[in-house]
Amino acid sequence: MSSEVNVRGEEALRRRVERTPVERHTLQMYERREEAWRPLNRRRVAAFIHLFLMCFVYTENGCRLHAVTYKMMKKTLCKRIIPWIYRWLVFTMDEMYWPISLEHFRELDQYLAEHLPRIQKEDEWRTVSYFFKEMLKQRAEYARMEQMEKEVFAAVERCLRS
């Protein structure tokens, strides 16, 4: 019997398997039970969207996947993820109740606009898009109102001092 040291040298013992970011994320999803075929929740949807963006948008992750994998991911996005997001929309300013984060929405919406316009034009995604764009408008409006209040308070303080 020969050991690893005798056959390939000492360097063989120090080597570890290098994994691409997609493979690492997929293994972490599996360990945390965040696969998209399980009943969906906010964490599982976020993990899927992150995986989807890593595979389709961030091409520096290397390791091209099989065409069947890409097809399955697009189908999962259209048939499970987007309908789940649509069903769980809550019209509130509190991000804790939103089905996905604003960052995930922006990246996914941009990718859909550039590469999958048919999906972006479907009613469910248009509603999701409308929701997030309205929330951004509301945030801008609240920020503007707060700025106006600060200016008014500053003006009142100046008047009281003089």
DSSP 28: H
Residue 159's pLDDT is what? 87
- Cβ 85 vs Cβ 128: under 8 Å: yes
* Cβ-based neighbours of 18, under 8 Å, separated by 6 or more: none
Classify residue 152 by burial, with Cβ atoms within 10 Å: 0-12, 13-18, 19+. exposed
Q: What is the C-alpha R_g of the chain?
A: 24
Supply the pLDDT for residue 8.
Answer: 58
Question: For the purposes of burial, counting CB atoms within 10 Å of the CB of 9, is it exposed (0-12), middle (13-18) or buried (19 or more)?
Answer: exposed
For residue 20 the two structure tokens come to 């691409």
Residue 61: Cβ-neighbour burial (10 angstroms; 0-12, 13-18, 19+): middle
What are the backbone angles phi and psi of residue 62, rounded to the nearest 5°?
A: 65, -170
Q: How far apart are the first and last CA of the chain?
A: 95
In this prediction the pTM is 0.74
To which residue do tokens 């075929």 refer?
Answer: 37
d(CA 63, CA 29): 18
Tokens 């898009």, located at residue: 129
> Do 45 and 99 touch, CB atoms closer than 8 A?
yes
Residue-level pLDDT, tens digit, the chain, 162 residues? 445 445 555 555 556 667 777 777 777 777 778 777 788 889 999 999 998 888 877 766 556 777 888 888 899 999 999 999 999 998 888 888 999 999 999 999 999 998 888 888 889 999 999 999 999 999 999 999 999 999 998 888 888 887
Return the pLDDT at 67.
82
